[in-house]
Amino acid sequence: MIISINQPGYLPWAGYFNRIARSDVHVVLDHVQFEKNSFVNRNKVLGPSGPFWLTVPVRTKGKFGSLPICEIEIDASQHWQRKHLQSIRSAYGRAPYFGDYWPIIEKAVSSDNSRLSALCGDLTGRLLQALDIETKVCRSSNFDFQQAKSDLVLEICRHFDATRYLSGPFGRDYLDLQSFEDAGVAVEFNDYTAAPYAQQSSEFVPNLSVLDLLFNEGPSAAAYVQDGVE
């Protein structure tokens, strides 16, 4: 049983989906504290003048320190949906596979989700389908996990009887590897590196939202996500 764990993300990059594809179960870590300026509510796409951020505005004023991701509300007053859709269309309207994937993106971004986790879940689910990834996905907020940091990861692994935990590269900074070894859970660090593909740019720009890959590579994006360069 291979498990991976990651916070939800808005239009995540290819490496996010690579780790899910390599797992039997993926847990969306949405009961932990929301961090400002993270990839939970933003990511980069590539426009004519270079990469730029798409950020979903959220309501956090006076709530930091006790604001789990699953409770984050979107600030609809900023009319962000129209702006994002216009930006995506402007950036990729001439990409070879834009018409194939635009309808699913437009529908998800235009939805009336009031919470960030619901929006991210909707988008990620549609993107997983587009990338032919069938991994089982669960949300940590649906369970009663009590631990934090390394102990939380191990608690989740034990809950799902995992024999292997597929960590991101930053897990090296905080995971207590001895405790995983004692529990019989092997830890593997997923050092995914983006392989160049055709872009609407003269020079390849890595680590953008997976939208860039889908609009430019179409059906071959699935193989790219699962292979990459490791």
The predicted-structure confidence for 135-175, as pLDDT tens digits, reads as follows 999 999 999 999 999 999 999 999 999 999 999 999 999 99
Q: Is residue 127 scored above 70 in pLDDT?
A: yes
1, 23 contact by CB (below 8 A)? no
Tell me the sheet residues that pair with 41. none
Q: What is the pLDDT of residue 229?
A: 57
Residues 6+ apart with CB under 8 A from 54: 10, 11, 42, 43, 44, 45, 84, 87, 88, 209
Q: Tell me, yes or no, if the pTM score tops 0.85.
A: yes
| Average confidence (pLDDT) over 65-87 | 93
What mean pLDDT, rounded, does the chain reach?
A: 94
pLDDT in tens, 19-32: 999 999 999 999 99
Backbone angles phi, psi at 221, to 5 degrees: -60, -35
Angle at which helix 14-21 crosses helix 210-217, to 10 degrees, equals 90
Report the pLDDT averaged over residues 181-195. Answer: 94
State the pLDDT at residue 206: 94
